[in-house]
Amino acid sequence: MEYTKEQIFKIGKEKFVTDLVNEILGKDTMDDNVITGVSLQDSGNCIHITFSGGVSASTIIAIGEAFGDDSPNVFGEGENTISIVFCNEKFDCLIGTTETNG
């Protein structure tokens, strides 16, 4: 689903990121996934997504590419928990002067 800048502000930055990532994760048939955390760091220039479940490498790349980052970083956070960290190069409306946590 495409969002306008105004819609993103209305629903909130974290909700926008969650919806977009869930849309991409929904196309990956490897495992059921649940986003457990969204954090916009560096004033929205860097995004951290934490989720449970397995995911294919192509899906991780697709998540990064959706935000303009061709090579997202992946970290194991514990049993069955993964974090993806990527740069936001695409959505200027996520970039602000304060950090927010989801």
Domain ranges of the chain: 5-101
Residues paired with residue 39 on neighbouring β-strands, in sequence order:
48, 101
**Residues in a beta bridge with 34:** 52
Given a contact cutoff of 8 angstroms between Cβ atoms, the answer to whether 61 and 70 are in contact is yes
Question: Could you report the per-residue pLDDT of 16-37, keeping only the tens digit for each?
Answer: 999 999 999 999 888 788 999 9
| CA–CA gap between residue 97 and residue 27 (Å, rounded) | 33
Average model confidence (pLDDT) for the chain?
Answer: 87
Give the fold, CATH level 3, of 5-101: Threonyl-tRNA Synthetase; Chain A, domain 2 (3.30.980)
Q: What is the average per-residue pLDDT within 1-5?
A: 72
pLDDT of residue 1: 59
Query: For the whole model, what pTM was predicted?
Result: 0.85
